[in-house]
Chain A
Amino acid sequence: MKKRVALLIGCVILTLSLALTGCTPAAPTDTPAEEKPEVVKVGWIGSLTGDQAVWGTCELNTVKMRFEEINEKGGLLGKQFEVIGYDTRGDATEAVNAVRRLTAQDKVIAVLGPNASGQAISISSVLEEMNVADIATVATNPKVTIHDDGGVKPFNFRVCFIDPYQGAVAAGYAYDILGFRKAAVLYDVADDYSQGLTEFFEKYFIERGGEVVAREAFKFGDVDFRPQLSKIKEAGPEIIFMPYYYKEVALSANQARELGIDAVLMGGDGWPSEVLLEMAKDAIEGCYFVNHLDFDDPDVQDFKNAYTAKYNLPVELNGYLAYDAVELLAHAIEKANSFDPVAIRDALETAQVLGITGKINISKDTHNPEGKDAAIIKIEDGAYVFQQKYSAN
């Protein structure tokens, strides 16, 4: 008897799961389409869970807020917008699923995000199959928009500068402006962004005539950097390049100072965070990093205040780039004068728009914003102080 009941329960669970597979998602997509035919859907993907959730959440909030503002002003081409955001938990296969769903089922006119290069590269085959364009926010790997053979991917765009450029800016600023000749690099071997920046920093620093005296690696999740830092100390560099995210930066900077290293530290766009200042205020005093924008720029204050007022959260770096991704898309829609995804893509190819992180001139050959200046930020008295716009050419 017990066995039979168990079997029955098993059957019920199976049929239920089958029924659920069949029905659930159909319901929410059918109804809004019938009720509000005037709404145009825009997709967003990124991490709402996982270790990059802070940035993903900020991006989605920004995108939603911007489209609400656009809707209040009457929308674009007389239509209102709806933002559909899906979580990828930082996983490439999830990103592919999310884009499949956005393009095939939700029929979005374009996709914004993701922030990570691995996800942005994985989704391009789906985008090409469905003919929908994507604007990545902070995906800095050159391969996001370019094929291996140098050809451009027809549906991938981005609003940020790329790793080689960022590496060149850091190397150029350290060599030309700060006048350092001996550099050391500490990097995260398990992270694509960190490996990329390291490669290009080294390349450009050596090209200019500098010397990389030490190159040490750690792996994501490490909390003790003393062995690597001790080796770096022995090499006696004038500047240590630290191309990774703020948590590890704070820990390694503190440990470097403990060991008596007084070299200037320098980093990339993984640095800016309020947490960094809290955790390593003294250790990073007088250090520099390359950023996408100047946080105190008058142009970004409106957005910063509006965001903080609405969500009661500080704006992360990704928010500014998500903002510009929306600007770029809005511009392309107006220019194309249509909601056809392919027409929008064509408009994106030659789009020129003034965003809050600078001028965005999309190049037809690379789908990158060309000639976008990087901002150099210095930490002075426990605050991020803008030094200058710097371009590496």
Chain B
Amino acid sequence: MDWFYVKGILILSGINLMAVLGLSLLTGFTGLFSFGHAGFMAIGAYVTAMGTMKLGLPFIPALLLGAAGAAVVSFFIGRLTLNLKGDYFCIATLGFGEAIRLILDNVQYFGGARGWPGLPVVTNLTTVVIVDVIGVVILANIIRSRHGRNFKAIREEEMASQTIGINVFRYKMAALMISAAYAGVAGGMLAHLLGFIQPKMFQFIKSTELTITVIFGGLGSISGSVIGALVLTSLPELLRTFASWRLVVYGAAVVFIMISRPQGLMGGTEITFTNIKKLFSRFFRASGEKAGGGGR
């Protein structure tokens, strides 16, 4: 395989990973399903593009501006919708995602539905990898902290966590804002990879893809999200030879894996050094026992 092509897939995986990481905190660790994250990506993309094109900022500050923009919007959305429970929140996010897209279709300042061409193409593998590593480290630290345990507590039993004194609304808000900021960064990087953005790129299907990736990788697992993003972004590329049957095969593969492994690839566990050591020691102890048993 040619490196130029592989590099392209890796960059795209890295961008998707960023959005998936954020969604992982919201869906995987806090238990809130969202079908509107493409909307946050769109905001991130447009705000970042505004930063580089209209305000003349360098790429990284513009990315941060995009993340902040998405987080601010999510704050207002959160105030209105986070009191909704379960499915209702999910539907509210769905509506939000579509609304963002339609608003952008109408804003002629950003080019409307015709899109915004001519953005500087500055996203490369190095920036994506660095941003991803920072993203993973921040998220892992959040999850391991007291706050991380509170997120998980809310996921497991909202009422009980409220009773023991966790401010559920505030934690949900924090999860939503962090995930929106991650999605915003992903959107900004995507915009400066393609050099062109169009509201059409951030359709409902994009949100669904992100949610599928989180569930596919395993809810409540950062390593699962990483693997999920890598596998699900490269899978359609590997299947190119199937031509028009490609997406059917892709869908079938996802269905097959979800049936055979309903908890997702990682299923709530993480790949850490201690876990790998544990796995190996358990594996060797097991085979050792077996061998010993045979000898007797």
Interface residues of A (CB under 8 A from B): 4, 6-7, 9-10, 13-14, 17, 20-21, 24-26, 28-29, 48-49, 53, 57, 85-87, 89, 91-94, 96-98, 100-101, 103-105, 117-118, 121-122, 124-126, 129-130, 141, 143, 147-149, 188-192, 194-196, 219
Contacts and interface: CB of A to CB of B under 8 A. Distances in A.
B115 A101 contact: no
Interface of B: 1-5, 8-9, 12, 101-102, 105-106, 112-115, 117-118, 121, 190, 193-196, 198-201, 227, 231, 234, 236-238, 240-241, 243-244, 246-247, 257, 260-261, 265-267, 279, 282-283, 286
A118 B8 contact: no
B12 A118 contact: no
A100 B196 contact: no
Nearest to A103: B4
A64 B245 CA distance: 18
Contacts of A129: 4
B266 A10 contact: yes
Contact of B117 (A9, A48, A94, A143): A143
A101 B106 contact: no
Contacts of A87: 240, 243-244, 246-247
Given A17-B231, A97-B9, A100-B4, A118 B200 contact: yes
Contacts of B5: 97, 100-101, 104-105
B198 A192 contact: yes
Main secondary structure of the interface of A (DSSP, over half): helix
11 contacts: A10-B267, A13-B261, A13-B265, A87-B247, A100-B4, A104-B2, A104-B5, A118-B198, A118-B200, A143-B117, A195-B112
Contacts of B198: 92, 118, 192
A24 B247 contact: no
A160 B164 CA distance: 67
Q: Which of B118, B193, B236, B244 has the most CB of A within 10 A?
A: B244
B237 A93 contact: no
B30 to A, nearest CB: 24
A87 B1 CA distance: 19
B1 A10 contact: no
A21 B195 CA distance: 27
B271 to A, nearest CB: 10
B106 A189 contact: yes
A201 to B, nearest CB: 14
Nearest to B200: A118
Contacts of B118: 143, 147-149
A141 B115 CA distance: 10
A149 B196 CA distance: 15
Given A25-B238, A85-B243, A105-B1, A190 B113 contact: yes
Contacts of B105: 189-190, 219
A14 B115 contact: no
Given A104-B2, A105-B5, A125 B238 contact: no
A17 B241 CA distance: 17
A96 B237 CA distance: 11
Q: Which of B1, B201, B283 has the most CB of A within 10 A?
A: B1
Q: Which of B117, B236, B241, B266 has the most CB of A within 10 A?
A: B117
B247 to A, nearest CB: 5
